[in-house]
Amino acid sequence: MAPRPLSAGRPVFIYGSLMYESVLKVLLGRIPKARPALLQGYVRRRIKGERFPGLSPVSGADDGSVVRGLVMDDLTAREAAIFDEFEDDEYDKEPVTAILVSGVECDNVLAWGQTPPKPTDAQLEGNSITALAYIWTDLDKLDDVNWLPE
């Protein structure tokens, strides 16, 4: 596996287990600043036999697939390394273009991830940001079922 791009000082798009405040507190000892975001052209699927998701680009024509997540842009080098360790070798870290969603209160981070996946047109017109995301590499292990936080 090639070395992952450094995340420190760069925005990171999170979409699964890392959206849980309890997970962030255990891993980092704090809750980093998070902004609601959408990622078009990707799906967040359950990984067979696991409780966590994998993010995968949609192949072929754009079918309107959108993943709700969060952009964190204040990770330290140490915290970025912890994320890299947490997300094992079956993920590649790649740049993606996320859409920041304004007007959404993000006090309950989990609630943002649980909302219905179809965004409004107004949400899709937000500012774009380049962020790093952990992309699942073993597509055969992805289930046909979308993953939602519980």
Task: Write down the pLDDT at residue 117.
Answer: 56
Output the pTM of the full model: 0.86
Which of the residues are catalytic?
87
| Collapsed DSSP state (helix, strand, coil) of residue 109 | helix
| Residue indicated by tokens 């590649």 | 92
Give the pLDDT of residue 96: 96
Cα 91 to Cα 36: distance, rounded to the nearest angstrom: 22
Q: Which is more confidently placed, 8 or 50?
A: 50
Residue 76, C-beta contacts closer than 8 angstroms, at least 6 positions apart = 8
Residue 147 confidence (pLDDT) above 70: yes
Q: What is the pLDDT of residues 88-137, one digit of tens each?
A: 889 999 999 999 887 666 556 556 666 655 666 656 667 899 999 999 99
Per-residue pLDDT tens digits for 6-35: 556 789 999 998 988 889 999 999 988 888
Q: What does the pLDDT look like over 56-74, one tens digit per residue?
A: 998 765 567 889 899 998 8
